[in-house]
Structure 1
Amino acid sequence: MMSLESLSFSGVSSSPDKQDNKQLTLLYSTTVFLAREAFRRACLSGGAQRDWSQTLNLLWLTVPLGVFWSLLLGWVWLQLLEVPDPDVVPHYGAGVVLFGLSAVLELLGEPFWVLAQAHMFVKLKVLAESMAVIFRSVLTAFLVLWLPHWGLYIFSLAQLLYTAVLVLCYVIYLIKLLHSPESTKQLTLPVSRISQLLPTITRSRAFVNWKEAKLTWSFFKQSFLKQILTEGERYVMTFLNVLNFGDQGVYDIVNNLGSLVARLIFQPVEESFYIFFAKVLEREKDAAHQKQEDVAVAAAVLESLLKLAVLTGLTITVFGFAYSQLALDIYGGAMLSSGSGPVLMRSYCLYVLLLAVNGVAECFTFAAMSKEEVDRYNFTMLALSSSFLVLAYLLTSWCGSVGFILANCFNMGIRITQSLHFIHNYFQRSPHRPLAGLRLSPVLLGVFALSGGVTGVSEAVLCCDHGWSARLAHIAVGTICLGVTLGTAFFTETKLVHFLRTQFGRSRLSDKMT
């Protein structure tokens, strides 16, 4: 039976429930990604003159597709993967069913999500996800304290509540908005009542826009490969068992901590500016055959985003090397900070830099590619996915869990190269050079190098076996270095500062309007 100890940090390294919850989360994320990713990319790319009824009809196809993937992957999880002993981990089968059901439930809100994203309802997205996380956390804590013997029912029911709250937030918000004539007129929504968001069949036009459908199919083929690259290490761990539970537990903790910045900053930026680039640029034309004012705006934004990604990623990499051990020691004690944890965390800091640049580069690339270019890119993704899985298995067998991160770095490096090559060719016949955003000023690079050296020496002298006074001194050294670095960036990267001020002003204006 599951006890409170198996949910605490001290039980992470060997808790079967923790491992099986991770497998169920992988089932959920795979189902949702394969069912909706292609539709999101294709349906957010249309212009203002699109027929929204056809777009919404296409989006509703994610639900039957989600049912198909949920049933297929649920069968794989129950029949092909190793099922835990019911006496040790009870209710695993019910967990598979409930996580699959939660994936389908989340897909019911896809038309509402795309409509909200297309009209830049940023505050709604933040509010919906925050409320869903809060409700899930509260229910999990309550069930763990009062009904710990429920085992995986706890995580499954909490996940089901998460998706229900997420969908309801979008539905209730749009219903309320559509009942406000002033807001509807001000935001020029393509629907006037909630029933128009449901599937509609008419004889006067096709059920879906076939151009969008073909683009969706191109992205759909790509979504298989991208999911392997995104969750590849989890598939290797789940299907091949290359790491024991202890190493998997430490890797999972480091991965969750290291990906916080990616989830909180990089992912929202990528999603928001993918919509921006898809609306500003036309897919079938290169930069020389588009409106030059739109190309200039897109190039300026892309340059600033690349600069921001490099600056943020480099800051995390430089300071993460010197403070990984301290962060893990504070979070989990000696069990994390004295083993492979610090090496994993430092490697992940480098991976975050590549992740930041890749996110920005790919959000432009996928927004600007034509259908034919997406199809050609799929062949590259196929080769990359195969090589990534092989490399992840070999590196993990050779150097343990850090091999997953090294394989991910290789994967990101190749993807960045592909995207930068596309961007270079795209703007080659125009006067704009957005790839200049990858270059930081020499002064700022010097300050980064100096900060890395100072904090490295500080870690060796003060951390982490000299008591809290030494640790606080180490933190103070890092704070001073970080302040100097950010101050230098403020005075040397003036274009980026102007861009951030402009975006912050627009976001505040958008919040007031909504």
Structure 2
Amino acid sequence: MAGIEKQKQDAPASSPGPAATVTGAPAAPSAVRGASLLIILQVASRAATFIANQLLLRFLTAELLGVATQLEVYYLSVLFFARESLRVAIQRQGGREDTKKKDESSSSSSSSTSQSAVNMAYVSVLLGALVALLLGWSYQTSVQATSIAATPYLFPSLYLYAVASAVELWSEPAFVVLQLRLQFGARAAAESVATVLRCATTLGAAVLSAKAADPQWRNIGVLPFALGQLAYGVGLLAVYSWHGIKLARRDGFSLVPKKLSPPALFAFQLFDRPTLNLARSMAVQSVVKHLLTQGDTLLVGILSTTQAQGIYALANNYGGLAARLLFQPIEESSRSYFSRLLAGGKDNKTAKDKTSETAPTAQAARDLQTLLKLYLLLSLVITAIGPAASAPFLGLVTGPRWAGSGAAETLAAYMWYIPLLAVNGVTEAFVASVATETQVYYQSVWMGLFSLVFAGAGYVCLHVLDGGAVGLVVANIINMTCRIVWCVVFISKYFSTRGSAGFFSDTARTLLPHPASSLAAVVTNQAVQRLVVPAVGAMAQIIQLVKILVVAVPLLLTIAFFERRFFQQCYSFVRGGGQATA
């Protein structure tokens, strides 16, 4: 559905400014401003989608929402397998080129880098067609007969999702160039237009269906979602192509594949060999990562009915709002920022090289610590008031149709999962920015093991303990904890080999919130649990939410007071006045 949002594409790398580091990395304030723009974009687009979803949920059954979730996973899988590893590799290529040519400003080298990125993007288009066919065939042969009978226009909707994925992938050549050229405005325009088109198309199709004179068209199943996704792809393709063509004409490259020289550096005289090799190395990891990311939905599909899938999808949709609105844009910009700040870092450096990289490494350590502490402070608020607010919030936004479905209990459990999502996102972004091909391979192996742990935990929680969607959240928590531990070990080793051995050894000072902030969060959690009572009706639910907000005010004031020095440093950091350190 429109609100079961796909994980957004990698953000453009941060804009280099006069304060760029010696490695060619952008100034930190530029990266923060880029992330801020993406957050504003996410908030605006998600707000429009959220409003559209509230209207649609009044007409949806849990079964239809479950089928819509399955089709969304199909669509996301096509995009992820086709472009994820290539995007990361191209982004790393951009950082490498910045390092190699930091003393050059020739337009020819710039256009060559852009053309190489364009050529690589067409691999995504070809992969997307193949993956869409394979996954589409797999879905058609495995879908339950009850789902086919209960969902009108199921297969036409599947075909539209396939076309939508192909259309969106055709925007990749323009997107990757705009990403390398740091065109934040182009992405903002593209996603804004695409989101408006998707919401308008989905709602329009649903309304027209409800008012249709012919009874055959009054129930069109998930077809409105498929049409909306196709409109989204068309919007992205149109806007990205417009900006990409203008940039290509100005800088002397082409948005169609062109041969490059020397042939020894480019496979088939088209594809940059180091980038292609890195993408191939990351492909296995991408598959495993996607299975872990979407594994909850796949596991629910195997072990539960479409109604249970719809209930989990609803809770996951609202529970993931914080991750999609705030954490994801920061994660994307962090990956771009750390890639450029630490570009070209290898383990086999000379003593002179290691000395020259000390400053950017120290800055990266400080910035990563700042992000992690911000996440921990925000997590205090989420876990303090989120569980109690789940029931009145869902009752208010979804209406009585979903009352008693178990979605509120699932959303309450999800509040404890959000902090892990945040920490995992930024730590994996850092790993993706600096890991060598060998390290990426080992990460893939470990993630494969974690997928087995997740499957086992899911089986126990869902099948043995019959925990339903709440059990699935517990399985996700176990899986995410494993991934975070691996990233923490990797990051600690990374900094220890570069003169920052104490990165995680001083967590009490650098990362953990003030004891008073933690105590206030515990007290607030217990207070709201006792104050909030079951409520029926919009006004009663609003009263419960107001109670929670009132109780949350002292918590926010406590955090603001005891963490004031840290927040002041963060403000100076955003304004360009220095690094924020705890």
TM-score by length of 1: 0.86
- 1:112 deviation in Å? 2.2
Task: Assess, with a 3 A threshold, how the Cα gap between structure 1 residues 284 and 495 changes in structure 2: closer, same or farther.
Answer: farther
| 1:307–1:496 contact (8 Å) kept in structure 2 | no
- 1:255 deviation in Å? 0.7
Q: How does 1:270-349 map to 2 (within 5 A)?
A: 270-281=331-342, 282-285=344-347, 289=354, 291-334=357-400, 336-349=402-415
Structure 1 residue 59 corresponds to structure 2 residue 121:
yes
Paired letter, 2:552: L
Where do 5+ consecutive residues of structure 1 fail to align?
Answer: 1-6, 182-191, 507-514
Among 416, 419, 441, the residue aligned to 2:484: 416
Q: CA RMSD in A?
A: 2.6
Q: Deviations over 1:231-257 (max 9, x none)?
A: 00211233x2x2233322221111100
Q: Deviations over 1:293-349 (max 9, x none)?
A: 111221111011111111222311111022111112212345545452232111100
Structure 1 residue 24 corresponds to structure 2 residue 71:
yes
Aligned to 1:220: 283
Aligned to 2:495: 427
Paired letter, 2:311: V
- 1:495 deviation in Å? 5.8
Distance in 2 between the 1:499 and 1:111 partners? 39
Paired letter, 1:396: L
Among 260, 270, 274, the residue aligned to 1:211: 274
Distance in 2 between the 1:468 and 1:71 partners? 46
- 1:261 deviation in Å? 1.0
Structure 1 residue 447 corresponds to structure 2 residue 520:
yes
Task: Assess, with a 3 A threshold, how the Cα gap between structure 1 residues 279 and 162 changes in structure 2: closer, same or farther.
Answer: same
- 1:62 deviation in Å? 0.7
Task: Assess, with a 3 A threshold, how the Cα gap between structure 1 residues 395 and 255 changes in structure 2: closer, same or farther.
Answer: same
Distance in 1 between the 2:191 and 2:161 partners? 18
Distance in 1 between the 2:115 and 2:174 partners? 13
- 1:13 deviation in Å? 4.3
**SS across alignment from 2:254:** helix
Higher helix share: 1
- 1:434 deviation in Å? 4.6
Task: Assess, with a 3 A threshold, how the Cα gap between structure 1 residues 83 and 467 changes in structure 2: closer, same or farther.
Answer: closer
TM-score by length of 2: 0.77
Structure 1 residue 35 corresponds to structure 2 residue 92:
no
Paired letter, 2:457: L
The number of residues matched between the two structures is: 482
| 2:201–2:228 contact (8 Å) kept in structure 1 | yes
Paired letter, 1:211: P
Aligned to 1:244: 305
- 1:114 deviation in Å? 2.4
Q: Deviations over 1:78-115 (max 9, x none)?
A: 12333567664333222222211211211112232222
| 1:302–1:434 contact (8 Å) kept in structure 2 | no
Q: Deviations over 1:245-295 (max 9, x none)?
A: 332222111110001111111111111110100111134238993611111
Where do 5+ consecutive residues of structure 2 fail to align?
Answer: 1-54, 102-112, 211-216, 577-582
| 2:56–2:203 contact (8 Å) kept in structure 1 | no
Task: Assess, with a 3 A threshold, how the Cα gap between structure 1 residues 120 and 212 changes in structure 2: closer, same or farther.
Answer: same
- 1:154 deviation in Å? 2.5
Q: How does 1:29-428 map to 2 (within 5 A)?
A: 29-46=76-93, 47=96, 48=98, 49=100, 51-82=113-144, 88-148=150-210, 149=217, 150-176=220-246, 192-193=251-252, 195-202=253-260, 204-205=262-263, 206=266, 207-238=270-301, 240=302, 242-281=303-342, 282-285=344-347, 289=354, 291-334=357-400, 336-397=402-463, 398=465, 399-428=467-496
Paired letter, 2:373: K
| 1:316–1:349 contact (8 Å) kept in structure 2 | yes
Which moved further from structure 2: 467-476 or 123-132? 467-476
Distance in 2 between the 1:9 and 1:250 partners? 12
Higher RCO (CA < 8 A, seq sep 6+): 2
Aligned to 1:9: 57
Paired letter, 2:461: L
